[in-house]
Structure 1
Amino acid sequence: MTVHVPVRPVTTEPHERSAGTPRPDPRRPGPVRGSSPLAGERLRPLTRCQIEDRLAELGDLYAQTSGGGPRAWNAARGAFLRRLGADVRRPGFCLLIAETTVLTGCAYGYPVPGGDPRGVRGLEPYLPRTVLPVAASGRLFLVSGIVVPARVRRQHQDRSWNLARRMQARLLAEHDAALGITLVDRTDGGTVQALRSWGWRYAEGETLQPSVLGRYGVLVLGR
């Protein structure tokens, strides 16, 4: 699962107030900033051919939201494109992009084969009993990655028009999935926190359940 927690963006100090400009009243809240349901990015799925045509652009988006310097970007970009190249061959694979005049985000994944989740990256040992009936019905969708700017993680996470929420909901709707699932590193607190803020929940209990296979756990998302 890919959810970026970028480094803190560079900020500038506010300009000094000009003479005669009233000092803001700290007791009065300022305007709400950030995404809005009336000015959101356009979402659309890409075909496999379109994905191939835009691989460089998708790789750049991933690198730019991964934090670090140019060397880190190159390594992150290459790893991302290799993973994406493997995923895109999965039956039912879907990649959504979000764009205004530029590419601003993407989310992707594929349905878990009905009755046979073993072939999906060794997913079966991670699946709790509660989701096995959904997997058997063929309506379980594995969300492999969500790539969004830092603002999406920090602002309006609980709103349905939050970009990450819009993309993950669209992925499930495109495949009539009853449940979304993703594997997450239990030691990656930033990713877990971001997903939880977008509506993902623990598959069982109030924490990520340990696995005999290592540090990964499962989060699920209902429609």
Structure 2
Amino acid sequence: MTAHLFLPTTPATPTASDLPAPRPAPDKRRRPAPGRPKRERGSSPYQGERIHPLTRGQVEDRRQELGDLYAEISGGGPWAWNQARAAFLRHLAADARRPGFSLLIAESPRLTGCAYGFPADGAGPWWAGFDGHVRGSLLRRAALGRLFVVSGIVVPSRVCREYQDRAWNLARRLQRRLLADHGAALGVTLADPRDDRAVETLRSWGWRSAGDDTLTAALPGPFRVLVLAPGT
């Protein structure tokens, strides 16, 4: 059982996309009309990145670029950069061999994020050692092909800390598209229970611990099981 979520592990050095745009000098001659709502800053569905899937061949062709994206977002010195990049690419290569693997990228026009995963098979190797840690409802969904494992989400640090509850947040758009493309009844991912930051970020994007509802965890395990409803 190797699935886990890739999020920035250290505070990344802000990139150009993370920094606010320069603000023009105020024009004292212009005054906002009374009652005009204040416009929110940040991405929107109309101004944000374009999301689209890659074929397996395109994933391989852009493998190095995807590795660079993860390393850039993770931050750290050259040694940490190379370690993070290598770990990410190993994980990606392993998941890319799974039946039904899907990867989405976000571009604006440069590559800014990605998310990927695969349908869970209740009898498949992903469940080895895992079926004893959740009740049968998750396994039944997997057996019916209605459970989708979101194995990786890679987004700039600003997406983890700004407008997390908005439908146009990039992470939400990526995860929602993954589930919709596969007609999944539920998304599932695993997180290190000691990584409070990752769990907190996931919950801000609509994920809930399996124990928050009827999918109650039966036994303590090495991973925190989180689930996501379609459209969240």
- Which bracket does the TM-score occupy, shorter chain normalised? 0.7 to 0.9
- In the other structure, the counterpart of 1:179 is 186
**Paired letter, 2:157:** A
- In the other structure, the counterpart of 2:156 is 149
Q: 1:9 to 1:49 in 2, by over 3 A?
A: same
> What is the aligned counterpart of 1:165 among 157, 169, 172?
172
Gaps in structure 2 of 5+ consecutive residues: 29-36
Report SS of the residue matched to 1:161.
coil
The answer on 1:7 being equivalent to 2:14 is no
Between the aligned partners of 1:43 and 1:141, the Cα distance in structure 2 is 19
Gaps in structure 1 of 5+ consecutive residues: 21-28
Please tell me whether the aligned partners of residues 45 and 95 of structure 1 are also in contact (alpha carbons under 8 angstroms): yes
> What is the aligned counterpart of 1:215 among 202, 206, 222?
222
Between the aligned partners of 1:102 and 1:188, the Cα distance in structure 2 is 30
Q: Deviations over 1:138-183 (max 9, x none)?
A: 1100110000001111111111111000000110111110000001
Q: 1:31 to 1:5 in 2, by over 3 A?
A: farther
- In the other structure, the counterpart of 1:205 is 212
- In the other structure, the counterpart of 2:44 is 36
Between the aligned partners of 2:212 and 2:49, the Cα distance in structure 1 is 35
Give 1:40 deviation, angstroms: 1.1
Give 1:193 deviation, angstroms: 0.7
**Paired letter, 2:99:** P
- In the other structure, the counterpart of 2:99 is 91
- In the other structure, the counterpart of 1:103 is 111
**Paired letter, 1:101:** P
Please tell me whether the aligned partners of residues 3 and 194 of structure 1 are also in contact (alpha carbons under 8 angstroms): no
- In the other structure, the counterpart of 1:80 is 88
Between the aligned partners of 1:121 and 1:78, the Cα distance in structure 2 is 25
Report SS of the residue matched to 1:101.
coil
What TM-score do the two structures reach when normalised by structure 2? 0.81
Between the aligned partners of 1:217 and 1:107, the Cα distance in structure 2 is 19
Report percent identity of matched pairs. 56
**Paired letter, 2:105:** I
Report SS of the residue matched to 1:204.
helix
Please tell me whether the aligned partners of residues 118 and 124 of structure 1 are also in contact (alpha carbons under 8 angstroms): no
The answer on 1:188 being equivalent to 2:195 is yes
Q: 1:53 to 1:8 in 2, by over 3 A?
A: closer
Q: Deviations over 1:10-41 (max 9, x none)?
A: 68xx9xx9xx9xxxxxxxx9753211122010
